[in-house]
Each structure stands twice: as C-alpha cells, then as structure tokens.
Structure 1
C-alpha cells in the first residue's frame, strides 16, 4: 500500500508573466516580461508531498520558510526576489506540518527528495538534519555559488551540514522518459528527468497498483498549463520545457495518472479525489 499526502507550506505570489511565458519570447525576453508585468496571480500554495511506501516515508521537496520575512534573508542585490512574494508562518513550515501528522521530521523519514534546488523547494531543509537528502546532480551543479544565487537559489542559506546525495538518471527508460533513477528497491518510487523550468529538474513518479502519482515539482505550474503546453517565464530553455510537457502528457495518457505540481491550487483536491489526467 502506497499513500501520497499533500502538505502546504504557505503561499507564493508571482507575476502573470512568470506563470505563463509568451511562446514567441526567448529566455531573456521572458525575464524582461516578468519585470515589466504589473499583474500578480492569486496566492498559490507551496506544496510538498509525503510518500508513504513499505520501504519508508519519502518527502518530495521541503517548501519554504518563514525566514523570507526577515530583512536581509532574500538578497536585495538580486531583483528576481522582488518579482515573487512568499508568505509562510512559522507553524506552516514543513516540520510543524509533519509533526501535526504525528511524525518526527528529524527521525521518521527515509529520505527527502528534491525535484530541484530553488529556494521555495529547499526552504524547509533545516528540519531534516538526520535524514538523507537526495537531489539531481545536474540541477545541483547550476544551483550553487553565484550562478545559483542568480537563478533563484539560496545556497548561502542552506544548512551548514547539507551534503546532498546527488544522483544521475542512470536507470531504465520509463515510457517517454529516456532514463530514470529508482528511489526504492521495488522501483515503484523513482525520479524521471523533466528539465525546462531549470536545467536538471526532475519529477517523482509513484507507481501504485491501480494509479500513478506524478509529483511534477515546477515542471509545470498547473495541470491546465500542462494540458495546453504553456511554458513558464522562468525557463532559459523554452524548447526543452515544451518537450518535457509533451513527455508528461504522453506518459499520463498511457496509464491512470494524477498530476501534482508544487504550486497548483487544485492539486490537493485531485489527489484526494484520485482524479486522473485525461
């Protein structure tokens, strides 16, 4: 028996040009559009997902932290951080959320799995000092140092003890995905490459007996964006992002699949209703 639970860690607001980028715009044009945009979307959830599997509990992403509210936490020299608004109360962080489920976040997880290293997916890492942290090697390579700071990561805010277990897509193809990386010995929880939002981004596939859960991270901001093939304004590689969306759609059409992005307000409802993509 496998169970997936959505955990919300506060809200994020973004510009409309970030949620959906103009398809006739390249990477630089999309960034300019975000800075020029005066319209904000409604507050969106910052979701992570708890996967309970016979081999243990796996947390996919860690959400964000209340420390966004502390002056100086977000570097003022990077104008990107003025284009998003993160609101997290201390009790909304992933640690208290897990505790409310009766779990000790420092002891009761087999692993934390990161789809990528953007700040709103790594902000809760402090709660897991004794837990394996697994992440895609390719994304980690573009998330550290000055380059990472420019790309929406906060490596300077990661826990000092963080030494993630970096993995490659070294496993078999899964449907349209050319490779994978198994997280459990039975192969029912695995990473697949979904680049585009950022280089090296991965999604987590959970294969249950009668349904598949596709934990998409930021490969798409919503199921509707996925359906129409709308890429975001963040991507530096729109062509790759479009190809990823096509692969996810193809995968979801081959088996009953619930699509669960990290910022889709309708995701938790679909999860509870077991509503599959069609």
Structure 2
C-alpha cells in the first residue's frame, strides 16, 4: 500500500508575470516583465508531499523556512528576492508539520527527494540530518556558488552537512519521457526529467492504478498546464512548454493526479483522486 499526503509549509506570493510568462517574450523579457509588474497573485501554498511506501517514508521537497523573515537571511544584493514574498510561521515548517502527523523528521524519513534546489524547496532541509537527500545532478550543478545565489537558490544557507546523492536520468524511457531514475526497488517511485522552470528540474511519479505526478515547479498549476502557459522564471520557454506537453501526454496514457508545489487546488485533487483529463 502506498499513500501520498500533501503538507503545506506556509504561503508564497509572486507577481502575475512570474506565474504566467508572456508567450511572445523570451527569457530576458520575462524577467523584465516581473520587475515591471505591479500586480501580485493571491498567496499560494508551499507544498511538500509525503510518500509512505513499503520501502520507507519519502518526502518530496522541504518547503521554506520562517528564517525568510529574519533581516539578512535573503541576500539584499539580489533584487529578485523582492519580487517574491514568503511567509512561514515557525510551526508551519515541514518538521513541525511532520511531528503533528506523529513522524519525527530527524529519524523517521528515509529519504528526501528534491525536484530542484530553489530556496522554497530546500528551506526545510535542516529538519532531516539523518535522511538521504536525493537531488538531480544537472540542477545541483547550476544551484551552487554565485550562479545559484543569483537564480533563486541559497546554497550559503544549506546545512553544513549536506552532501546530496546526485541522481542522473540514467534509467529507461518512461512514457513520453526520454529517461527516468528509479528511487525504489519496485520502480513505484521514479524521477523523470521535467526541465524548463530551471535546468535539470525533475518530477516524481508515484506509480499505481492511479499515478501521482509530483511536479515541483514544472508548472505552477493544473490550470496553467492545460492552457499551455509557462512561467516567467524560465530561461528556456520552449523547453518549459515541451515539458508541459509531455506531462499532459503521460496523463492521457495513464490515469494521473497532478500535484504541483504551489497549486492551491492540488490537495483537494489528491483527496478526491481527481485525475488530469
């Protein structure tokens, strides 16, 4: 028996131009649009997903941290961080949320799987000092150092003990996806490449009679995916759009519940097993 549980770890607000980028604008134009945009979307959830599997407990992404509110935590020299607003109370961090479910994050999570290394997906890493931390090698390469700090990552805030297991897409083709990487021996939890939001982004598929597609930021919402709307963050709009089409094609072939990291409708779809159609 496999169970997937959505865990909300606070709220994020972004500009409307970040949620949906203009189709006729490339990477640079979309960044300019975000800075010029005076309009903000409603607060969106920052979601993690707990997978309970016969081989152990797996957490997909770790959300963000209350420390975003501490002056100096976010680098003031990077104006990008002023275009996003993160609000997380201490008790909303993923560690507290897991404890409320009777799960000790310091010892009861077998592995944390990161879809990518942006700060709102890695902010809760401190809660998992004894877990395997698995992340995509290609995305890790662009998330460290100055490049990472300039593009939405906070490697200087990662735990000093962090030495992630870097996953390559070295497994067989899976549906429309050119490769995969199995996390469990039975292949029920598997990574697939979903680049576009950032280089090397991956999604996690939990396979069963109904699949659960934990999409990270491959799309911000099911609505955006169905409309073929990519975000304003992407440096490669064409690749981002191709990823949306592959996710949709996968869901056309197999019943699939889509679960992005910032979709307010995602937890309700999960509870209802409402598949993408």
TM-score computed with the length of structure 2 as normaliser: 1.00
Task: Tell me, in whole angstroms, the C-alpha distance in 2 between the residues paired with 1:151 and 1:83.
Answer: 12
Per the alignment, residue 244 of structure 2 pairs with 245
1:83 aligns with 2:83: yes
1:18 & 1:7 partners in 2: Cα distance?
23
Q: Give 3-state SS (helix, strand or coil) of 1:106's partner.
A: coil
1:201 deviates by: 0.1
Answering whether residue 213 of structure 2 is matched by residue 224 of structure 1, we say no
Cα distance in 2 for residues equivalent to 1:213 and 1:269: 13
Q: Which residue of 1 aligns with 2:148?
A: 148
Secondary structure, counterpart of 1:120 in structure 2: helix
SS at match of 1:8: strand
CA distance in 2 between partners of 1:118 and 1:203 (Å): 14
Counterpart position of 1:124:
124
User: Secondary structure at the residue paired with 2:126?
Assistant: helix
Alpha-carbon deviation of 1:99? 0.3
Matched residue SS, 1:86: strand
Q: 1:109 deviation in Å? A: 1.1
SS in 1 for 2:239: helix
Q: Distance in 1 between matches of 2:270 and 2:119?
A: 25
Instruction: Report the equivalent of 1:41.
Output: 41
Equivalent residue number for residue 2 of structure 2: 2
Query: Which residue does 1:27 correspond to in 2?
Result: 27
Q: Which residue of 2 aligns with 1:264?
A: 263
Q: What is the rounded CA distance, in whole Å, between the counterparts of 1:160 and 1:206 in structure 2?
A: 30
Provide, for residues 90-139 of structure 1, a one-character-per-residue CA deviation record: whole Å limited to 9, x for no partner. 00000000000000101111100000000000000000001100000000
Equivalent position SS for 1:253: helix
Match of 1:204 in 2: 204
Quote the Cα distance in structure 2 between the aligned partners of 1:59 and 1:253. Answer: 26
**Which position in structure 1 is the counterpart of 2:162?**
162
Q: Which runs of 5+ in 1 are unaligned?
A: none
* Partner SS, residue 242 of structure 1: helix
Mapping for residues 97-116 of structure 1, pairs under 5 Å? 97-116=97-116
What is the aligned length?
277
Moved over 4 A (4+): none
Provide the secondary structure at the position in 2 that maps to 1:91.
helix
1 CA distance for matches of 2:129 and 2:110? 12
Report what 2:74 is aligned to: 74
Unaligned 5+ segments in structure 2 are none
Question: How far is 1:52 from its partner?
Answer: 0.5
**Structure 1 residue 70: deviation in Å?**
0.1
In structure 1, what is the Cα distance between the partners aligned to 2:239 and 2:49?
Answer: 25
